[in-house]
Amino acid sequence: MKSIARLLCLPFVLFFGTHLSAQVEESLQRVPESAAQERTTVDWTPDTLFFGDVYAGAILLDSFSVTNTGEHPYIIRDVKGSCDCTAYKYPKEPVMPGETAIIRVEFDSAGKAGITRPGIVIYDNSIPNSRSILYMEGFIISKKKPQNTSGGN
């Protein structure tokens, strides 16, 4: 029975996945090819998220704001995290001059301890390096109890 339900759902999943892909492609096609090659300037607020002290296992949600301060559309081509502890959601459509967009980030502190500073690299068309690097910074408090090293009772 479950396999029949999955087969019936498959066309819907394929349709919506294709539809979403077409929307992203269409938004990029609205920008002329010459504009996609143009470089622009951006301003990140903040460029580092400080989350302070958190216990291991906490999931933190926050966001970065990017404003296109240049004269050409700002295009994010790809985003990569420095570890698998980060997830992100970013605009697929160009950010026009003067507009601001939000990049949402999620940091999973499970398995981490001590000072942490995961980075997120935004591959884009910004000046001067065609990329922006953002950070999250804080201190992860381990849930493990320290071992007694005094040798006493």
Residue 15's pLDDT band (cuts 50, 70, 90): very low
Q: Which residue has the higher pLDDT, 85 or 147?
A: 85
Cα-flanking dihedrals φ and ψ of residue 51, to 5°?
A: -110, 5
Residue 5's pLDDT band (cuts 50, 70, 90): very low
Q: Are residues 45 and 87 in the same domain?
A: yes
Q: Are residues 2 and 75 in the same domain?
A: no
- Residue 119 CA to its chain's centroid (Å): 10
Residue 101 tokens read as 């967009």
Q: Are residues 44 and 73 in the same domain?
A: yes
Q: Are residues 19 and 74 in the same domain?
A: no
Is the residue at 151 inside a domain? Answer: no
Residue 115's pLDDT band (cuts 50, 70, 90): very high
Q: Are residues 8 and 73 in the same domain?
A: no
Is the residue at 112 inside a domain? Answer: yes
Structurally, how many domains does the chain consist of? 2
Q: Are residues 102 and 132 in the same domain?
A: yes
- Residue 92: give the domain boundaries: 39-141
Q: Is the pLDDT of residue 43 over 50?
A: yes
Q: Which residue has the higher pLDDT, 42 or 19?
A: 42
